[in-house]
Each structure stands twice: as C-alpha cells, then as structure tokens.
Structure 1
Amino acid sequence: MMASTSSSRQNSSGPMAPSSSAIRALSLELKSLMEEPLEGIRAKLVNEENLFEWEMAIFGPPDTLYQAGYFKAHMKFPNDYPYSPPTVRFLTKVWHPNVYENGDLCISILHPPVDDPQSGELPCERWNPTQNVRTIMLSVVSLLNEPNTYSPANVDASVMYRRWRDSNGKDKEYENIIKKQVQASRVEAEKDGVIVPTTMEEYIMKPKPRPSFPQDNIDMDDFYDDDCYDMDDEDDCSDDEEYQEDDGEDSGNGES
C-alpha cells in the first residue's frame, strides 16, 4: 500500500507537516531503489505507512576489516527533505571514528549547508538538495573502510585506527574490536535470516529487483526480498524478516 500524504503526516515528527515535495521525492527514491537496488546495501521502510523512516542493512565490503559484517541502521528524513539532510543511526554496534557511542553517524554529507569555518568543512562537502539516498548510502559504505580522523565522533576509535594504520596492521587493538563486532553481526544476520555476502563476486551481485510499479502506486507489500541475490543457487534465498532494533565517504568527510 502506498504511503499517503495523510498517513505520513500522522507518523512524521517535527513542528511542521511533511511537504508534498518531500513525499514525492522519497516515493521516487524508494521506487528507484526497488527497481535498481544498490550492491552491498538493502533498504526498506520501517513502517509501510511512513515514508520518512527507513531501515538499512549494510554489508561490510570484501577485503576490508568489515568484510562479512551485517550492520543495521535507521535513516530518518526531515519534513522538508531534500532541502534538509536526513540523519543516520546505526542499530548494530560499530566501533568507528565517525560513529558516536549512541550509533549516530557523523559525516559531512549529512551536515546542514551552513558556512562554518571552524568545522573544517567546505560548504560543497555538506548537504545540498542534489544529494539523495543513493549518494548517502554509498558514502556510508566508503566511510567504513576510509574513516575521517581529523575531527572524529569517537576519539578513542580514531586513535586506535591511526595506530593500526600507521603500524601497517601490526597494532591489532582496532582490528580485533572490529572482528569481534563483525562476528556478533553475523549472529544477528542468522537470526534475521539474512545471507551475508562474503566474497567480492557475491557482494557486487545486486538483489533481484521487483517489477516496476506505476510512479504513484508503489505497493510496499511487494518490496523486494531482502535475502535474494541473483546467484546460481536461488534456493539459498530466505524469506523476508523484519529487523529487530537493539538498545545497546565518500562524498564528504566524516566530521562532527
């Protein structure tokens, strides 16, 4: 069922009601991702009646410390999107220089387009209305392997990362933490019935897209299966299961 304007107004938070341009923009971006999914990332709505909160599953890129990891996140959009940026919060524990302890992602592309010389960011590195969900997701994946340590959100993680990088991997503290988190995320993937790509060949294969829908009649019940990759053995595809939230670029620099 398509997320209507009225239902979006009821489920979105904020002082002002969602604009019609925001609803249309998000509808089109969701439809685009359904028809042409990004490799290594899957996305869908948290609630089929609310276009302004999305779930993301991010697979750790091969040949990186995060390889075979399964990281879940929420992306929340403001009512005046795309004129203001969304926010991204990891639900999975991620030890990373550009991720706060509470999971909030700090990256330039998600910072409002204001002139702030003290931030060390150029205006062109910040959010602008030409950015979209695809550029955000690609920036997040890139950031996993190429963190920005100039103004980190997690200072301890930044120090450990630099020690690991400067020692050519001889200092194992950072690496060991990431490996433990990747292993824990694999357990979560098994609970969610998700098959995590572990090789480059599996990673670059995009999920099978569903048939395209009319622009103004997106059927959320036909959202593409999370676990189906266009691989030879299609029997490996498992049924869709909802993510369970726990408590516990690069288009721009990851700066706080």
Structure 2
Amino acid sequence: MTTTMSASSSKILQTEFKKLQQQPVEGFTIGLVDDSDIFQWKVGLYGPPDTLYAGGYFRAIMKFSHDYPYSPPTFRFITKMFHSNIYENGEVCISILHSPVNDPQSGELPSERWNPTQSVRTILLSVISLLNEPNTYSPANVDASVMYRRWKESKGRDKEYEEIIRKQVEDSRKDAEKDGVVVPLTVSEYCIKTRLSSKDSNASQDITDIFYDDDDDDDYGLNDEYDYDDEEDDNEDYGDDDSGAHEDA
C-alpha cells in the first residue's frame, strides 16, 4: 500500500471523525482505540427505547483499511450479541460492509454492497436498522435467525429469543457503569438535541422511523452472563484482538 494512499485515507477518516463528533448519529458514540491511530475506532451503540434492545450499551470496533474508502471497514461487536446477522466472533455481516464485487451466489446486488460514496454515517444507520429488522434469509447465526422468526411469528408468545436478548442487555449495562456512561431510556433522551443540517436531520429522522413505527415491540429492559470466550480483554478496554475477516453471508 503506497504511503500516498494511506495518507489520503487518514485525512478522509480524520474529516469523517470530526464531523461525526460535531454532528453525531443518534444512538451512537465514537472514539479512537488509540489516539495515534485513526484507522481503529471504538463505537458505543445505545439500545433504542421501546425495542428489545432498550437500555443496552453495545460496544464495537471499526477497523479501516489503508485504502479507505475504496475498501469497506469491518464492524465487530465486542459486546456479546445474539443476532441473525452477527457472527459468533461479533463481526457484522451486512451488504454495505461487503466488497463491491459481482457475486450472484450471495443474493446481493452490486448496488447493495460497499462503494466509495458510502461513509461511516451510512454504516451506523445500517447497523442500527439491522438490529431491529434482521435479515433471516442469509443468516450469519442460524440459531438466532430461527429463534427470531419463531418469536416474530408467535407475536412474542415464544419467549426464548426475547429472554436471550434480555440477558445480554442487562450484562451490557455493567459495561456502561464501568465506562461511566448513562444509557438513554426514553425517546427524548435518545434523540440528539443538537443543530443538524437538513441532510443530517433527514438521516436522524430515518433512525426515528426505524424504531418508533412498530407497535409490536414493548419496552424491554435486559440481562446476560454471556461473553465471547476470546473477547474478554476487548470488553475491558476496546483492545485489538483480530478475529479475521468475515465471509459474505
């Protein structure tokens, strides 16, 4: 990788990072794993009120290649996540994070995959949308996909999926306490009270539409004993334990 390309990627990421701090995406906090390394970001995601994830605080690592934005970053949760589109190692499997190649067997259109016009903001919006509406037809976690569909089809009467998420949300609150984070519990607390451009306001409204137009979900709080066996150090300090690149779902 040429030094020129790496320097260009670094400049682009610094610009995105600064903009996201000034105009954050609702439900997220961002920071750097190491202040000297713009290519690794730590992300905190708050579970939106009135969803299964309400009250949760989910930590993740984003890693960027030195040819960003021509290649997508990886997004890996270091908080235990039981979800149709999240691998056991916490890595998110979503079209926008897949390289822009033509792969008919994947079931994805090239237009759904990563392209250099995408940004961290669009990734964050896609990830939070995925939490509420899993893709159960190309799952990274088959058990989670089966349980979610059973829970959805039973209109919440089958509690197995719900109880697992409850446990994980409760466990995530311990991380919030360690990090000194106050998790928003109401819609008014969750929504950002900041001046946004009209474009960012539309993106902000997209998040609200994702979570607050569904009458099926109640207001859940949650709790967990699960931990990625090889991720304990990450949960302590957003450490840098590489688990490898994910495969296309």
Query: What's the TM-score bracket when you normalise by the shorter of the two chains?
Result: 0.7 to 0.9
Q: Which residue does 2:122 correspond to in 1?
A: 135
One-letter code aligned to 1:189: A
For residue 140 of structure 1, give the secondary structure of its aligned residue in structure 2: helix
- Cα shift at 1:20: 2.5
- Which of residues 40, 55, 68 is equivalent to 1:53? 40
One-letter code aligned to 1:129: P
Q: Which residue does 1:145 correspond to in 2?
A: 132
Q: Which residue does 2:94 correspond to in 1?
A: 107
Alpha-carbon distance between aligned partners in 2 of 1:246 and 1:173, rounded to the nearest angstrom = 32
- Which of residues 91, 109, 120 is equivalent to 2:78? 91
Alpha-carbon distance between aligned partners in 1 of 2:16 and 2:238, rounded to the nearest angstrom = 24
Q: CA RMSD in A?
A: 2.2
Shift of the 193–48 alpha-carbon distance from structure 1 to 2, 3 Å rule, reads same
For residue 195 of structure 1, give the secondary structure of its aligned residue in structure 2: coil
* Rg comparison, structure with higher value: 1
- Cα shift at 1:21: 2.0
Alpha-carbon distance between aligned partners in 2 of 1:247 and 1:136, rounded to the nearest angstrom = 21
Alpha-carbon distance between aligned partners in 2 of 1:156 and 1:247, rounded to the nearest angstrom = 28
Q: Taking structure 1 as the reference length, what is the TM-score of the superposition?
A: 0.75
How big is each residue's C-alpha offset from its partner over 1:110-169, in whole Å with a ceiling of 9 and x where there is no partner? 000000000000011000001000000111111111110111000000000000001101
Shift of the 83–192 alpha-carbon distance from structure 1 to 2, 3 Å rule, reads same
Alpha-carbon distance between aligned partners in 1 of 2:184 and 2:92, rounded to the nearest angstrom = 24
List 4+ stretches of structure 1 deviating above 4 A. 15-18, 206-209
One-letter code aligned to 2:82: W
What are structure 2's unaligned runs of at least 5 residues?
Answer: 197-234, 242-247
Q: Which has the higher helix share?
A: 2
One-letter code aligned to 2:87: Y
What are structure 1's unaligned runs of at least 5 residues?
Answer: 1-14, 210-241, 249-254
Shift of the 20–247 alpha-carbon distance from structure 1 to 2, 3 Å rule, reads closer
Counterparts of residues 1-256 of structure 1 (less than 5 Å): 17=3, 19-206=6-193, 244-245=237-238, 256=249
Alpha-carbon distance between aligned partners in 2 of 1:125 and 1:75, rounded to the nearest angstrom = 20
For residue 14 of structure 2, give the secondary structure of its aligned residue in structure 1: helix
How big is each residue's C-alpha offset from its partner over 1:84-116, in whole Å with a ceiling of 9 and x where there is no partner? 000011000010000001101100000000000
